[in-house]
């Protein structure tokens, strides 16, 4: 019996949200994630849940805030310019320690940019994004299957840490059709939410607030948040390695560039170059310790991103001078080809560049 369905990443994540028993979706259309609100407008009511197309991203994230206050599982989805608009609300949600899930199907920017894929919202996603000292739990799927599976994970982590989670993907992952195994059983944990503002019957009134005028109280809250983020750093780091054991050069990439890099590892290995790939799955918390261990082991790094260089800074921080970190990036909607990356790898092994492999079997396997 066929257990797999051919789905776009954007659609797979909607099914993942339903599997996560998401109570509400609030969104506003923006390419390349329009399939998400479209699909959710069918899936949510069909499952007895709420779908609202808000008048703006600003409103959508504040509806998420209200629904999260009510103790329910709420999410929103958008793409780069829309996620910028959500930042104020995200900062409030993080400050109030409310759980929710925000999806960013990134396009190229800055500004209105392009609807083609990008990864230039990395800083915004992992360094806070809005005002103040806060962090999101950031998960980066590289396949439609992971889009599906990361939704229950994102909701679970959000509830566990009372913190917003973000699914940070790019337009390729959102738009690509892939087989998705939907017969996975997720353990959905029901977290008690005694803090929810859902009517004070039989208890003192609950207040959800992020205004703390007294600096001691405000700093105390910041320290509490930082301790939570440190806890995530210990318990929630997720990453995948490919051929890193004996690698001299480790590529670091996430999302669709990581898939291209995996092919490049195979191509390089065929030519005798010892290359591997480390793919961070949680961009925050970042696999810094693991990268540092590799650096101390003498491995060098090549970071590949669809940006002008953002995650490379976290890799450099992780390496902390123990080894070399170099960067190759394309931006504004341009996607690096395997040949381009292979040539970057060849240069690091003192080999001359090769001409395009575009018609090769491996290239089309990407």
Q: Which of 50, 288, 334, 366 binds other proteins (CB under 8 A)?
A: 50
| Near other proteins by CB under 8 A: residue from 14, 17, 19, 67 | 67
Structure token pair of residue 221: 């809250």
Is residue 43 part of the contact set for other proteins (CB under 8 A)?
no
Distance CA 248, CA 348 (A): 10
In Å, what is the CA distance from 325 to each residue of 131, 246, 259, 316? 30, 18, 20, 6
Using CB under 8 A as the binding rule, whether residue 192 contacts other proteins is answered as no
Nearer to other proteins, 98 or 169 (CB): 98
Cβ 189 to other proteins shortest distance, Å: 19
Using only the alpha carbons of the chain, give its radius of gyration.
21
Looking at 198-206, 288-296, 314-322, 323-331, which segment touches other proteins (CB under 8 A)?
198-206
70 interacts with other proteins by CB under 8 A: yes
Between the alpha carbon of residue 293 and those of residues 83, 239, 266, 323, the distances in Å are 34, 14, 23, 10
DSSP per position, 211-224: ---SHHHHHHHHHH
**What is the contact mask toward other proteins in residues 260 to 289, using x (rule: CB under 8 A)?**
------------------------------
In the complex with other proteins, the residue whose CB is nearer, 112 or 213, is: 213
112 contacts other proteins (rule: CB under 8 A): no
Q: Are 24 and 67 in contact (CB under 8 A)?
A: yes
* Interaction between residue 198 and other proteins (CB under 8 A): yes
Q: What dihedral angle (degrees, nearest 10) is formed by the CA atoms of 178, 260, 83, 141?
A: 50
List interacting residues with other proteins (CB under 8 A). 23-24, 26, 50, 52, 54-56, 58-60, 62-72, 74, 88-89, 92, 96, 197-202, 205-211
């Amino acid at each position: 019996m066929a257990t797999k369905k051919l789905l776009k990443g954007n659609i797979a994540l909607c099914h993942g949200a339903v599997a996560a028993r998401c109570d509400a979706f609030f969104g506003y259309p923006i390419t390349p994630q329009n399939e998400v609100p479209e699909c959710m407008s069918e899936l949510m009511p069909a499952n007895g849940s709420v779908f609202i197309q808000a008048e703006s991203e600003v409103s959508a994230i504040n509806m998420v805030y209200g629904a999260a206050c009510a103790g329910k599982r709420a999410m929103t989805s958008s793409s780069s310019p829309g996620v910028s608009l959500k930042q104020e609300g995200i900062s409030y949600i993080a400050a109030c320690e409310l759980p929710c899930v925000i999806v960013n199907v990134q396009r190229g920017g800055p500004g209105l940019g392009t609807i083609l894929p990008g990864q230039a919202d990395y800083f915004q996603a992992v360094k806070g994004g809005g005002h103040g000292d806060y962090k999101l739990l950031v998960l980066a799927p590289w396949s439609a299957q992971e889009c599906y599976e990361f939704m229950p994970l994102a909701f679970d982590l959000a509830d566990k840490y009372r913190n917003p989670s973000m699914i940070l993907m790019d337009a390729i992952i959102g738009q690509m059709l892939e087989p998705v195994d939907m017969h996975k059983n997720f353990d959905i944990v029901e977290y008690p939410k005694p803090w929810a503002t859902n009517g004070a019957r039989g208890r003192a009134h609950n207040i959800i607030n992020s205004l703390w005028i007294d600096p001691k109280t405000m700093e105390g809250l910041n320290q509490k948040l930082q301790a939570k983020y440190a806890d995530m750093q210990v318990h929630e780091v997720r990453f995948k390695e490919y051929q890193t054991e004996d690698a001299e050069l480790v590529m670091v990439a996430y999302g669709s560039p990581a898939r291209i890099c995996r092919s490049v590892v195979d191509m390089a290995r065929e030519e005798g170059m010892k290359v591997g790939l480390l793919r961070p799955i949680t961009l925050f918390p970042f696999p810094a310790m693991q990268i540092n261990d590799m650096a101390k082991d003498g491995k060098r790094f090549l970071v590949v991103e669809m940006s002008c260089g953002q995650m490379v800074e976290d890799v450099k921080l992780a390496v902390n001078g123990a080894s070399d970190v170099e960067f190759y990036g394309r931006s504004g909607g341009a996607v690096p080809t395997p040949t381009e990356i292979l040539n970057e790898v060849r240069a690091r092994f003192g080999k001359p560049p090769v001409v395009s492999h575009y018609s090769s079997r491996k290239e089309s396997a990407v």
